[in-house]
C-alpha cells in the first residue's frame, strides 16, 4: 500500500524546479518593465516612479522614425504575407494529394529552417547588387524580405483552420447555384476569417521583432525599432531602452492574447 | 478511375499550384533563391574592399580552417577560427543540456496540472517564446550587468564591495541562450508528456520500481521523441545565434553567426563568409533531417513546430 498522499505523477523536486524556472523566466522581464518607470538614470537603483523615460523616448526623433518605419514594414509585410499564405493554404489543403505538394510545404516552411543569419547574408549579397544596379534604396527590400519570412507564420494557423473545416457548406452553396467566387466570398472566407486574423497577427509580431535580417538588409538611416535598440545597447544604457522595450512588449502581449482568444477551441 | 474523375483531379492539382504560386515566387526571390547566390559567392575571389571578384577560387572554403601566412604564403591551421567553432558547438551543446535539465521538470509540472490550470501555465511559457529575442537578451543582460540587479543587491548586502564582472564572457552567453531558448525545449517536451499514460507509472510502482527507476525505464524512453524534438529546436538556433552572443559576449566571444557577420563587415572576406554560411546551413539541415526521421519513426511526441 502506498504512503498516504502518494500520487503517481509526483516526482520529487520537479515542482520546485518548475516554479524556479518560471520565476527566472519572468524576473528579468519584470525588472525591465519596473525600471522603465524609474525617475533616475539607473537600471538597477530605484529612485522614484516617473514617466520620464517614456517622454524622453517619445521626444526622441530617432525613436519616432524607427517606430513609424517598424510599423510600416510590419503592416505591409504582414498584409502581403497573409494574402499569399491564404492562397497557398487554399491550394494545399482539402484537395486530393498531388505531385509537388511536399515541395510546396518545404518551400513555404523554409524560412523556419534556415538560420536567420544565413538568410540575412544571402539577402545582403543579392540586395547589394540590386541596389547598385537600380539605384533604389527604399523600404521595398525590407518589406520583401519581411513578407517572405512571415509567410510560414501566417500560413500555419490558416492551414490549421482550413483543415478543421469540411467542404459541406461549400458544396451546399454550389448546389444552390452560387458561383465559385460567391461561394468563396460568402462561405469560405467568413469561416476562415479567424484563421486569417490569427495568421496576420503572428506575421505582424514576427516582422515587428526581427533584428538579424533587418540589420543586414537595411540601407543607411533605415533603422527599425529593434535595430535602433541593438545599436543603443553598445553604449551606456539608460532606462529609455527599458521604456521602448516595455512599449513593444505590451504590444506583443496584447496581440498574443488576441491570438489565443481567436484560436481557442470553441466548446 | 473514370475520365471525369481523372480530369477533376488534374484541375484540382493545377489549382493547387496556381494558388500556391504567388507565395512560392516571393519565397524564391527573397528566401530560397538568394541561398544559391551564397553558394556561388563562396567559390569566388574576395574583393579588396568587400564584395567579390568574378574569378573562380576555393579560398573561401579553405579559409574556413586554414589561414595564409602573410609572409611566406603557406597555409596553416587557423586557430582563431577553430576557437570560434569550438565555442559555438560547446555553448550550443551546453545550452541544450541546461534547457533540458530545467525544461523537463517544468514540462512535467505543467502537464500534471488540472486542464484549466495547464492552459495558464502554458500561456506563461508561450509569452516569452513570442517576445522579442532582443528584449529578452537585453533583460537578462541588465540583470547580469556590473550596475545590474545582482551586483547591486550583493553590494548592498555587503557580500562584495566590487561588482563582479558577469557580462562579456562565455558564461554570460550560455546563461543568455539558455534563458531565451528555454521555451523551445519546454513546448515539445510538454506535448510529449501530455500524451503520456500515467497508468504506466502505477504499473511501475506496483512492481516495486523506485522513482528513479520509473523515471529512467518508463518516462524517459516514452517521451524520447519529445526530448529529441526539444533538443534540436534548441540546438539549431543556438548554433546560428547572433543577437545573444553579440550583446552578452561582447566583441571577443564570437560565435559562428558573429563570425559570419564579421566577414561581411570589417573582415571584407565575402567568399569566406559565404562558405561559413553554407557550412552552417548544411549542419542545421542535417540536424533537422535527423529530427524529421526520428519523428517519422517514433510516431508520437513533439508535435510542436
- What is the span of the domain harbouring residue A185? 61-263
ipTM > 0.90 (yes/no): no
Is residue A41 less than 8 Å (CB to CB) from chain B? no
The rounded distance, in Å, linking the Cα atoms of B197 and B150 is 42
Is residue B32 less than 8 Å (CB to CB) from chain A? yes
pLDDT tens for each residue of B151-188: 888 888 888 888 888 888 899 999 999 999 999 999 98
* pLDDT value of position B302: 37
Give pairs for A187-193: CB < 8 Å, separation 24+.
Answer: A188/A90, A191/A165, A192/A86, A192/A158, A192/A161, A192/A162, A192/A165
CATH of the domain at A145: 1.10.3720.10
Is residue A248 less than 8 Å (CB to CB) from chain B? yes
The rounded distance, in Å, linking the Cα atoms of B192 and B222 is 8
Q: Give domain status of residue A17, yes or no.
A: no
The rounded distance, in Å, linking the Cα atoms of A213 and A172 is 46
Q: Give domain status of residue A43, yes or no.
A: no
The helix/strand/coil state of B66 is strand
Domain count of chain A?
Answer: 1
The helix/strand/coil state of A38 is strand
What are the sequence ranges of the domains in chain B?
75-298
Greatest distance between any 2 Cα atoms in chain A = 81
What are the grid coordinates assigned to B290, written together? 535527423
Q: Which residues on chain B are in Cβ contact (under 8 Å) with A87?
A: 19-20, 22-23
- Helix %, strand %, coil % for chain A, to 5? 75, 0, 25
Tell me the C-alpha to C-alpha distance, in Å, between residue B205 and each of A7, A257, A266, B223, B236: 10, 41, 38, 18, 37
* pLDDT value of position A265: 57
Residue A236's pLDDT band (cuts 50, 70, 90) = low
Residue B117's pLDDT band (cuts 50, 70, 90) = confident
* pLDDT value of position B300: 42
**Which residues of B197-299 form beta strands (DSSP E)?**
none
Task: Judge residue A8's burial from the number of C-beta atoms within 10 Å of its C-beta, 0-12 exposed, 13-18 middle, 19 or more buried.
Answer: middle
Task: Judge residue B103's burial from the number of C-beta atoms within 10 Å of its C-beta, 0-12 exposed, 13-18 middle, 19 or more buried.
Answer: buried
Is residue A180 less than 8 Å (CB to CB) from chain B? no
pLDDT tens for each residue of A174-228: 888 888 888 889 988 999 998 899 899 889 989 998 999 999 999 888 999 999 9
Q: Which residues on chain A are in Cβ contact (under 8 Å) with B132?
A: 208-209, 211, 226, 245, 248-249, 252
Find the CB nearest B31 among A8, A42, A111.
Answer: A111
Q: Give domain status of residue A54, yes or no.
A: no
Average pLDDT, chain B: 86
Q: Give domain status of residue A107, yes or no.
A: yes
Rounded to two decimals, the pTM is 0.86
Residues 6+ apart with CB under 8 A from A50: A37, A38, A39
- pLDDT exceeds cutoff 60 at B8: yes
Q: For the beta carbon of residue A103, count every other beta carbon within 10 angstroms.
A: 11
Test the B interface: residue of A2, A16, A18 with most B CBs within 10 Å: A18
The helix/strand/coil state of B250 is coil
Fold of B75-298: MetI-like fold (1.10.3720)
Whether A154 contacts A112, CB under 8 Å: no
Amino acid at each position: 500500500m502506498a504512503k498516504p498522499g502518494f500520487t503517481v505523477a509526483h516526482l520529487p523536486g520537479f515542482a520546485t524546479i518548475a516554479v524556479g524556472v518560471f520565476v527566472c523566466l519572468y524576473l528579468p522581464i519584470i525588472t525591465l518593465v519596473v525600471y522603465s518607470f524609474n525617475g533616475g538614470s539607473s537600471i538597477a537603483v530605484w529612485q522614484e516612479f516617473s514617466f520620464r523615460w517614456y517622454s524622453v523616448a517619445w521626444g526622441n526623433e530617432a525613436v519616432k522614425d524607427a517606430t513609424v518605419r517598424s510599423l510600416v514594414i510590419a503592416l505591409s509585410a504582414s498584409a502581403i504575407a497573409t494574402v499569399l499564405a491564404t492562397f497557398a493554404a487554399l491550394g494545399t489543403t482539402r484537395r486530393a494529394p498531388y505531385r509537388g505538394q511536399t515541395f510546396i510545404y518545404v518551400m513555404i516552411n523554409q524560412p523556419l529552417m534556415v538560420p536567420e543569419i544565413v538568410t540575412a547574408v544571402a539577402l545582403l549579397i543579392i540586395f547589394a547588387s540590386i541596389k547598385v544596379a537600380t539605384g533604389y534604396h527604399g523600404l521595398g527590400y525590407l518589406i520583401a524580405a519581411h513578407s517572405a519570412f512571415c509567410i510560414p507564420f501566417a500560413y500555419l494557423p490558416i492551414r490549421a483552420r482550413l483543415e478543421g473545416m469540411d467542404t459541406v457548406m461549400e458544396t451546399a452553396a454550389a448546389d444552390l447555384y452560387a458561383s465559385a467566387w460567391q461561394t468563396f466570398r460568402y462561405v469560405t472566407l467568413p469561416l476562415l476569417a479567424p484563421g486569417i486574423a490569427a495568421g496576420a497577427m503572428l506575421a505582424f509580431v514576427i516582422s515587428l521583432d526581427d533584428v538579424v535580417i533587418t540589420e543586414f538588409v537595411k540601407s543607411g538611416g533605415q533603422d527599425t525599432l529593434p535595430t535602433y535598440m541593438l545599436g543603443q545597447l553598445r553604449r551606456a544604457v539608460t532606462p529609455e531602452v527599458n521604456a521602448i522595450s516595455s512599449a513593444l512588449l505590451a504590444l506583443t502581449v496584447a496581440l498574443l492574447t488576441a491570438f489565443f482568444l481567436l484560436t481557442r477551441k470553441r466548446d | 478511375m473514370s475520365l471525369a474523375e481523372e480530369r477533376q483531379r488534374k484541375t484540382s492539382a493545377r489549382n493547387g499550384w496556381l494558388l500556391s504560386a504567388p507565395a512560392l515566387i516571393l519565397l524564391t526571390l527573397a528566401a530560397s533563391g538568394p541561398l544559391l547566390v551564397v553558394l556561388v559567392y563562396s567559390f569566388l575571389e574576395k574583393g579588396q574592399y568587400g564584395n567579390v571578384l568574378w574569378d573562380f577560387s576555393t579560398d573561401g572554403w579553405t579559409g574556413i580552417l586554414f589561414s595564409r601566412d602573410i609572409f611566406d604564403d603557406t597555409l596553416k591551421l587557423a586557430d582563431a577560427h577553430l576557437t570560434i567553432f569550438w565555442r559555438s558547438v560547446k555553448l550550443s551543446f551546453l545550452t541544450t543540456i541546461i534547457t533540458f535539465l530545467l525544461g523537463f521538470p517544468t514540462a512535467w509540472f505543467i502537464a500534471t496540472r488540472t486542464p484549466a490550470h495547464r492552459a495558464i501555465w502554458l500561456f506563461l511559457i508561450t509569452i516569452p517564446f513570442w517576445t522579442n529575442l532582443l528584449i529578452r537578451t537585453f533583460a537578462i543582460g541588465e540583470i547580469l550587468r556590473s550596475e545590474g540587479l545582482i551586483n547591486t543587491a550583493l553590494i548592498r548586502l555587503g557580500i562584495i564591495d566590487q561588482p563582479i564582472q558577469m557580462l562579456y564572457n562565455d558564461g554570460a552567453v550560455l546563461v543568455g541562450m539558455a534563458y531565451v531558448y528555454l521555451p523551445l525545449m519546454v513546448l515539445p517536451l510538454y506535448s510529449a508528456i501530455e500524451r503520456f499514460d500515467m497508468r504506466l507509472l502505477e504499473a511501475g510502482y506496483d512492481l516495486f520500481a523506485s522513482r528513479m527507476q520509473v523515471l529512467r525505464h518508463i518516462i524517459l524512453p516514452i517521451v524520447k521523441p519529445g526530448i529529441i524534438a526539444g533538443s534540436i529546436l534548441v540546438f539549431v538556433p543556438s548554433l546560428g545565434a547572433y543577437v545573444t552572443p553579440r550583446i552578452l559576449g561582447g566583441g571577443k566571444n564570437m560565435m559562428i553567426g558573429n563570425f559570419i557577420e564579421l566577414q561581411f563587415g570589417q573582415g571584407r572576406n565575402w567568399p569566406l563568409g559565404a562558405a561559413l554560411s553554407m557550412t552552417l546551413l548544411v549542419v542545421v539541415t542535417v540536424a533537422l533531417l535527423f529530427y524529421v526521421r526520428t519523428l517519422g519513426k517514433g510516431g508520437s511526441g513533439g508535435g510542436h513546430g
